[in-house]
Structure 1
Amino acid sequence: MTDATKQTIVLVHGAWADGSSWDAVTRALQADGYTVLVPPNLLRGLADDAAYLAAFLAQRTSGPVVLVGHSYGGAVITNAATSAPNVAALVYVNAFIPDEGETVVQILDGSGSALAVEDPTTIFDFVAYPGAPEGVVEVFLKPEVVHASFAPDLSDADRWTIAASQRPASLIANVTPSGEPAWRTRPSWAVIGTDDLVIPVAVLRRLAERAGSTVSEVAASHVSMVSHPETALAAIRAAVAAV
């Protein structure tokens, strides 16, 4: 076991979010004396996003790292850590934990997710972006989806802030097959929001069990680290203490 203050905790946001989704967790960990980094997640495609995070880790960290991902950020940390030997542990917060060859879309297929709909135009706004591959666009959550499905346990003001400031994801991000999973060679922890409507609880439990993660559950929505940061903090602190 290493001195906790010598470890770096890296928090990775998911789609339709940014680093501010980790604000409560970041402040608490910094108050504990940890070095905390919250890099941007490009949301341009799993291979590119993981490569960016791996390069960030190589250049911005030294010593052991506890790598934390929310939602799609879980897929990113699963891939990035395979080429980041200083990652000592993984923490998944309401997150995808893919196996090799899986995509986010495949994981959600038939799950009852609020995002697994026949007509995506009912929940997404589509926007072209410069440099995108032909036929590829970014997707924003419609405000009513943020309110009803993404963050229903936050205040009305917080939900409107998320709807206004969301960082969109390229369509490529959710259909790119995952690579070799780092959870096969790293210990992992998983926080499950039992009221998650984006990644339903049955899916979260199945993924965590497959990865052999140490699980904690909380009655919270998809953004449990915002509505109940103490649960994410407990899992992160446990990971730090164990490695």
Structure 2
Amino acid sequence: MSETKPTIVLVHGAWADASSWTAVSVPLQAEGYTVFAPPNELRGLTGDAAYIASFLAQRTTGPVVLVGHSYGGAVITNAGAQGGDVRALVYVDAFIPDEGESVVSILEGSGSALAVADPTTVLDVAGYPGAPEGAADAFLKPDTVHNSFAQDLPEADRWTIVAQQRPISLVANVTPAGPPAWKTIPSWAVLGTEDLVIPIGTQRSMAQRAGSTVTEVAGSHVSMISHPDVTLAAIRAAADSIT
């Protein structure tokens, strides 16, 4: 094993920001890892992945463990082979798309709380300046946060998510993925068995297809907050695999 610890790069998902990784980043820093949690722009998969790849190329040196939560999993799948020296991927309650798949196509028929006939029953939609044709910001309704997104967090934390969520453009969820980094880079996956956004059957199927080393936890879609030790263990295992 290399004596130099790899850099850990944490990519957040929709309706979140870098603070969603605090319970993971603080212990990793205490263990001597260099940790970055760059902004995920949440505007479109192609552009979001290009931004993260650019960040990796310019802000990291040496081996990298690239970690993605939720939509961030789709981003790292596209960015992992495009920038930096990414040696391992870690997916946390995440999308692990193959080429041509989108978030919407993966969730179709999955039983996801978000895969509903009328999205406005679970999302609030608002326009934003400069939006391309058909694009708009999607926010989680409070009931969706409380009942389907972060149902295993304390109520006060759920209300914080409601207040501070970063919206994702509707375009991002329908953009097809490019060639997946998991075909050439080893991966680990933390699967929340109580996840109502990406149901456990869908998570298992994607992780199996990617050949990921899998850990399951009785957590919601934000298990890295409710059960950070499980995510930490997966990241450490990925880091330890790098020689």
- The answer to whether TM tops 0.5 is yes
The CA deviation at 1:85 is 4.8
> 1:140 matched to which residue of 2?
139
1:174 counterpart SS class? helix
Map residues 122-137 of structure 1 onto 2, 5 A cutoff: 122-137=121-136
> 1:190 matched to which residue of 2?
189
Alpha-carbon distance in structure 2 between the residues aligned to 1:239 and 1:4: 14
Q: Is the 8 A contact 1:69 1:93 kept in 2?
A: yes
> 2:58 matched to which residue of 1?
59
Alpha-carbon distance in structure 2 between the residues aligned to 1:24 and 1:75: 22
CA RMSD of aligned residues (A): 0.7
Q: TM-score scaled to structure 1, two decimals?
A: 0.98
Can you list the C-alpha shifts for 1:112-166, whole angstroms capped at 9, x where unaligned?
Answer: 0000000011011111111111231010000110000000000000000000000
Q: Is the 8 A contact 1:4 1:241 kept in 2?
A: no
Further displaced range: 132-141 or 160-169: 132-141
1:157 counterpart SS class? helix
Aligned residue type for 1:67: L
Does 2:19 align with 1:14?
Answer: no
Alpha-carbon distance in structure 2 between the residues aligned to 1:189 and 1:62: 22
> 1:30 matched to which residue of 2?
29
The CA deviation at 1:3 is 2.4
Can you list the C-alpha shifts for 1:160-180, whole angstroms capped at 9, x where unaligned?
Answer: 000000000000110000000
Alpha-carbon distance in structure 2 between the residues aligned to 1:3 and 1:138: 44
Aligned residue type for 1:52: Y
The CA deviation at 1:82 is 1.9
Alpha-carbon distance in structure 1 between the residues aligned to 2:107 and 2:61: 36
CA 1:107/1:85 → structure 2, altered by over 3 Å: closer, same or farther?
A: same
> 2:107 matched to which residue of 1?
108
Can you list the C-alpha shifts for 1:183-229, whole angstroms capped at 9, x where unaligned?
Answer: 00000000000000000000000000000000001000000000000
Ranges in structure 2 where 5+ consecutive residues have no aligned partner:
none
Paired-residue identity, % = 70
Map residues 159-170 of structure 1 onto 2, 5 A cutoff: 159-170=158-169
Alpha-carbon distance in structure 2 between the residues aligned to 1:135 and 1:61: 35
> 2:89 matched to which residue of 1?
90
Ranges in structure 1 where 5+ consecutive residues have no aligned partner:
none
Does 2:3 align with 1:3?
Answer: yes
1:195 counterpart SS class? coil
Aligned residue type for 1:142: K
Alpha-carbon distance in structure 2 between the residues aligned to 1:106 and 1:26: 31
> 1:46 matched to which residue of 2?
45
> 2:67 matched to which residue of 1?
68
Alpha-carbon distance in structure 2 between the residues aligned to 1:56 and 1:108: 29
> 1:177 matched to which residue of 2?
176
1:95 counterpart SS class? coil
The CA deviation at 1:84 is 2.0
Alpha-carbon distance in structure 2 between the residues aligned to 1:141 and 1:19: 18
